Structure formats: structure tokens, C-alpha cells
Amino acid sequence: MPVPTAPTLPTLAREADDLLAVHLVTLGCARNEVDSEELAARLEDGGFRLVADPEDADAVMVNTCGFVEAAKKDSVDTLLAAADLKEQGRPRAVVAVGCLAERYGNELAESLPETDAVLSFDDYADVAGRLSAILAGQPHTAHVPRDRRTLLPMAPAARRAAAQGQSLPGHGTPAPAAAAPDLPVGLAPASGPRPLRRRLEGGPTAPLKIASGCDRRCAFCAIPAFRGAYLSRPAAEVVTEARWLVEQGVRELFLVSENTSSYGKDLGDIRALEALLGELSALDGLDWIRVSYLQPAEVRPSLVSAMTSTPKVVPYFDLSFQHASPTLLRRMRRFGDPDSFLALIASIRAQAPTAGIRSNVICGFPGETEADVDVLCDFLGEAGLDAIGVFGYSDEDGTEAARLDRQLPLDVVEERRERLADLVDELVAERAAQRVGETVQVLVEEVDDVVTGRAAHQGPEVDGSVELVDAAGARVGAFVPAVVTASAGADLVARPLPTWSGRV
């Protein structure tokens, strides 16, 4: 029996005497933010309009996070909250997309009947058509999850050709040429190659995805299975999108991926990231370039040199240590030890003494001993990191770690997490206090009762902020030279230099 064809979106819009409205919610990391902006562009290209209030929407689309248990719960709670609004008459449909949706597919749809559809990454290319059909009352059959690493060849060099025609969220796949003219306001330029992206948040900072997927096999991580094998975006494509973002008023680019230090491995150039930084630095109107998600074992001396010497690249190193005990790191299927990690940190600070260095650590991994925790604490005490995220281990479906022996009781994991969190609070506060008297450039992000922003060593949202005092006339997007006068935790207080006169 043939499947009935859904009314086209323009037809539905004319029947409603208006464009159908979508409220898009983004959860999780900066990579998800890029994906949401791709979805927004595809929806607007397809005739939908985006609205800020879910009660004004015909559909609420939630870009979910599926990384750890807390993030999954947040995603489910957000979907249920949207479903509660639907029960009150508005919106008419609730749709799940993103990592949780991709990872669990039909299982999520069955366990969460309050949602009207669970879409896969493979649905992104025609997300407007999918949503049009859902709003027309057509049922959507959720996908059966699969290991997305199998979609691309094992050999990195063969992946670019094989990726043609596949749905790769955040890779800026151009819209069909026929869709280029007369784009909605806020989309990329109508002529020539353009990124398929629509900014959802204002402000002077924007994430820019340079690759997707991961080839590493960390025992605790499920991301490679639902994000797929590692694939770099060609430099020309990245630069084109960066140029467009600058035209939209962005002054800081935040380069993101699952593993940025692997950039170029599938392009045949292990130093492609260094070259890309140079190309981005040449863009007029761009002030800061920030690199995220570096694997310590892959950080080459040439990369450290490029990140500390290339104009506009801020000396900021987001290093994923995860632990410091060599025995436990091997059990995690990672590499390193305190000496090698401290040597890497020393090499960075030798070239950029005020560089910002952040990391995340996991405690309570199966087999972790008290001695392992002591090794981690000693390392953190010596490292002098600016920001540290502490996570208690939890089993993730389909990972090797979930099958390991010597699993620790939950109360032990939580006890160790609290111990580390208390230590980290002290260490981060000490590191911030060392910056008192330091001269910093502050990118202003908010002007309200107080003026707040970030210094070069602070990444967006997670690394603390700077409050500027006596900064009347500062505007969002301004760079203010200032001297640090005080600290509180990771946050700083700074006063503009006498030479600053309120100019951007």
C-alpha cells in the first residue's frame, strides 16, 4: 500500500495563513549548538519560522544530549515539559533530535510516547519535510540505532569520498543551488557557496565545528558509536563559515569537535590544524580564535607553538586528561602519566606563561584504588590548572567500561567525587588569585547592572568570568584592556586601564 504524500510545507503554511512556527531547544555542548543552527537554517529554508516562546510554536524540537546519565535525564525532562505544554493546547507536536535521539531511536520513542517523533541524524537533510509530515498527522517510525562508525571506511584517507551523500550534522552541507536566492534574514549569503546555518544566539562568540566523530576507543565513552568515525571538514569550508560568522558580528570563534587535535588525519596532513589556524587568523574583523577538545597524547610541539604564536589564537588549552594514574589510564584505554602531563603543561607555559589550561577528570572508574585517587590529587596539585571539571563515573550503555570487573559502589564513587570537587575548588581559586595584578583583555558579553565578560584564558560558560568595574560605556563585543584586582573562585574582578576610553 503506497504511503500517502504529506502536504508540502508551503501548502500547510498557506492554509494556516502564516508560516508554521518552531521553538528549538538546545541541550548539551557547543557542538550541539552548531547542529541546532544547522537545523534552524534547514527549517527556515523549508518555510518554517523560529519563535522564542514554546507556547507560540506549532512544534517544539529538542536537540538532546546523550553523553552521561545527568544529561540524558535533562533531555527527557525537557521533552516531558514540552509535552505538558502540548496537553494545554500549544504546541501541537514535540520532536526529539540530537544525540539522545540518535543513540536510542525506537527505544526512546517507545519509552517516551509523549513525544510525537524521534528523528535520526539521517533525517536532518530533510528535517523541514519530516516536521511538515508530523504536523500533518503522519506517524513517524523511529530508526533502529546502529554503530555510525560503520558508515565510513576504517582508513581515514578514504572517508571524504565515502561521506558524500551522508548526513553529517554540523558539516555545513550546502543547500541545493535552487534554494540559494532570497534566503530569510540571518541565513548565510545568497550567492556562492554558503554554510547552512542560522545563528540562534546573539553575542560576540560562536562555536565553529571543524570535524565530527572520534576514532579513539576510550572505555567509558559511547560518543564514537553514535557520532561516527572521525571526519575533518575541509579548510576552505571552515574558513567560508568563519567569514560568514564574522559578518554576523562574531569576534571570537570557538573551534569545536569531538577531538580537535586529530584534525587533518583524514585529509593527509597531520599539521592541518596549524595551517587552518593561520588561515582563520587572516580574516578581517576576527579578534580571537579559541581551540577546544585536545587529546594530550596528540598535542604535538608544533601545535603548541602554533597555538601560542599565531596572531588571534588565544593561548587556551582544553586538555582532556581524565585521570593521572598510568595504571587506570591504560584500563580506560588512554595514555599518559603525571610526568608526561606535567611536561606538556610546562612546555605550554614556557611559551605562554599566562596561558589558560583546563581539563576534565573522572573518579570512580572500575578498578580505581585509593592510591590512584592520591596520584590524581597530587597531579592536580602540581598542574596549576585554571578550570577542572570533576565527574563521577557511571556506566554507559554499550561501552567496554560497563562490562569491566571491580565496579565500585555508588556511594564510594560519590565520596571520591566530593573529595576531588572540594580539592578542585581550592586549586582553581588559588590559580585565579595568582592572576591578581595581571593585565588582561576582556571580551564584554553582558552589560547590565554590572559589566561582565571573559579573559583570554576563560572559555565560554565553563571557565569563570571577569567583572569589570568602572567600565561605563562598555558595549557587548568590546575588548577592554584591564588589570585584575581581585578573584573569587574562578571568577575575576578587573578595572579598565586608564588608556581605555570606552571604544570597541
Backbone angles phi, psi at 443, to 5 degrees: -85, 115
> In the 8-state DSSP scheme, what is residue 251?
-
Cβ distance 308 to 348 under 8 Å? yes
Residue 302 has a CB neighbour count (10 Å cut-off) of: 12
Place of cell 546502529: 146
- Cis amide prior to 409 (ω within 30 degrees): no
Q: What is the dihedral of CA 366, 371, 376, 379, to 10 degrees?
A: -160
Task: Spell out the SS3 assignment of 268-283.
Answer: CCCCHHHHHHHHHHCC
Q: How far apart, in Å, are the Cα atoms of 131 and each of 85, 108, 115, 210, 453?
A: 18, 18, 13, 28, 38
Closest CA to 306 of 351, 239, 253: 351
Distance CA 487, CA 286 (A): 29
Tell me: is residue 99 an annotated ligand-binding position.
yes
Q: How far apart, in Å, are the Cα atoms of 401 and each of 216, 331, 407, 432?
A: 14, 9, 9, 35
Tell me: is residue 218 an annotated ligand-binding position.
yes
Q: What strand order describes the sheet that includes 356-363?
A: 316-318, 356-363, 387-392
Place of cell 526529539: 96
Helix (H, G, I), strand (E, B) or coil at 391: strand
Distance CA 477, CA 57 (A): 31
Q: Beta 491-496 vs 439-447: how paired, if at all?
A: unpaired
Residue 241 has a CB neighbour count (10 Å cut-off) of: 26
Tell me: is residue 363 an annotated ligand-binding position.
no
Helix (H) or strand (E) holding 377: helix 370-383
Cβ distance 59 to 65 under 8 Å? no
Q: How far apart, in Å, are the Cα atoms of 407 and each of 117, 329, 368, 376?
A: 36, 16, 9, 19
List, as residue ranges, the binding site for [4Fe-4S] cluster. 29, 65, 99, 214, 218, 221
Per the annotation, binding residues are 29, 65, 99, 214, 218, 221
